[in-house]
Amino acid sequence: MRELSQVVGLTLMVGLPAAGLPGADSKGALEMVRVPAGAFLMGTKDGPEDERPQHRVEVGAFFIDRTKVTNAQFAAFLSAVGPAGPKGEHYFDVDDNDARVHQRDGKWRANAGFENNPVVEASWYGAVAYCQWRGKRLPTEAEWEKAARGTDGRKYPRGNEAPDSTRAHFNGGWNDFRPVGSFPEGASAYGILDAAGNGWECVSSANRPYPYSSTDGREDPAPDQVRVTRGGGQDSRAEELTTTHRGRHVSRNPRGGHHNISFRCARSIVTSS
Identify the CATH number of the domain in which residue 221 sits: 3.90.1580.10
Domain range for 203: 1-67+124-273
Residue 222 lies in a domain: yes
Tally Cβ neighbours within 10 Å of residue 104.
8
Predicted structure pTM score = 0.89
Residue 104 lies in a domain: no
- The strand pairing partners of 107, in sequence order, are 104
Radius of gyration of the chain (CA): 17
- H/E element holding 131? helix 124-133
**pLDDT grade, residue 107 (50/70/90)?**
very high
Residue 101 lies in a domain: no
Find, among 91, 69, 71, the residue nearest to 81 by Cα: 91
Residue 227 lies in a domain: yes
Residue 202 lies in a domain: yes
Helices (H) and strands (E) in the chain, counts: 3, 11
pLDDT score, position 272: 61
Find, among 201, 183, 181, the residue nearest to 119 by Cα: 201
- H/E element holding 110? strand 107-110
Residue 107 lies in a domain: no
Count of structural domains, the chain: 1
Is the preceding peptide bond at 211 cis, omega within 30 degrees of 0?
yes
pLDDT score, position 10: 35
Backbone φ, ψ for residue 62 (5° rounding): -155, 160
CA-to-CA separations, 165 to 29, 155, 162, 172, in angstroms, rounded: 29, 17, 10, 11
- The percentage of the chain sitting over the pLDDT mark of 70, rounded to a whole number, equals 88
Over the stretch 118-174, which tens digit does the pLDDT of each residue have?
999 999 999 999 999 999 999 999 999 999 999 999 999 999 999 999 999 999 999
